[in-house]
Amino acid sequence: MTIKLKKKILYTGTITLKTGLHIGGTNAALNIGGPDKFVVRNPINFIPYIPGSSLKGKMRSLVEIANGCVTLDEKGNAKPSDDPNSISGKLFGVATGNNNNRPSRLIVRDAELDVEACNFSNTDMLYTESKTEVAIDRVTAKANPRTFERVPAGAKFKLNMVLNIFEGENEEDLKKTLEQAIKLLEDDYLGGHGSRGYGQVKIDLVNPDGEDKTY
């Protein structure tokens, strides 16, 4: 059996932060008095970015939950479906090491911070802010302060995704699943500490239907 690439659909757009975003990076360069948790940055130009793996993994997780592709074992542990023909499997692929492997149809690039889109002159760190929180021990009431680095609300990232369409596949179904993933993400959060208000995003595509490219 052979497969043939029909076309690629290119999606570009903007991810706008509605609240501060924290996607953790290395803490190798800790400074006394600085944040306890740093954001991920490009080590060459020190500009924050959203890893494509974080963005794609979150969208996949939300699609699996929304479409019932997650099961619970006898201990209550969640396990995503390994069915390559599931709604999630068709778009995001399946890699189990067994004979049911299916390559992902979606490529999600790292999203670079658009440093020209916002004024970062008032941030206390380069392109970011430090946010101090206090964890309260519910027994002793002892306060434990901690500081997180966040990309501030209002910052914009450049979104770039590619959807591969092969002959014989249902293009509209794949596009609808991707659209669902984007809508679910907007009503959820990206990165860490979302239940405390971090990571609310708005995604605007230049062309919601994407731009077809054939070879």
pLDDT of residue 71: 83
pLDDT of residue 79: 84
In a domain, 184, yes or no: yes
In a domain, 52, yes or no: yes
In a domain, 214, yes or no: no
At residue 207 the predicted structure's pLDDT band, cuts being 50, 70 and 90, is very high
In a domain, 215, yes or no: no
Higher pLDDT, 103 or 111: 111
For residue 184, the enclosing domain spans 5-207
Query: How many domains, in total, are found in the chain?
Result: 1
In a domain, 166, yes or no: yes
In a domain, 115, yes or no: yes
Q: Which long-range contacts (CB under 8 A, 24 or more apart) does 182-189 make?
A: 182/59, 184/59, 184/62, 184/63, 184/66, 185/58, 185/59, 185/62, 188/58, 188/62
Read off the pLDDT of residues 105-142 as tens digits, 9 standing for 90 and up. 999 999 999 999 999 999 989 999 998 888 888 888 88
Q: What is the dihedral of CA 202, 206, 210, 212, to 10 degrees?
A: -160
d(Cα 26, Cα 24) in Å, to the nearest integer? 7
In a domain, 213, yes or no: no
Higher pLDDT, 71 or 158: 158
86 DSSP assignment: S
In a domain, 75, yes or no: yes
Q: 146: which 2 tokens?
A: 């901690």
pLDDT > 90 fraction of the chain, expressed in percent and rounded = 69
Does position 171 have pLDDT exceeding 80, yes or no? yes
Average pLDDT (164-189) is 97
Higher pLDDT, 79 or 161: 161
Does position 145 have pLDDT exceeding 50, yes or no? yes
Prediction pTM value: 0.89
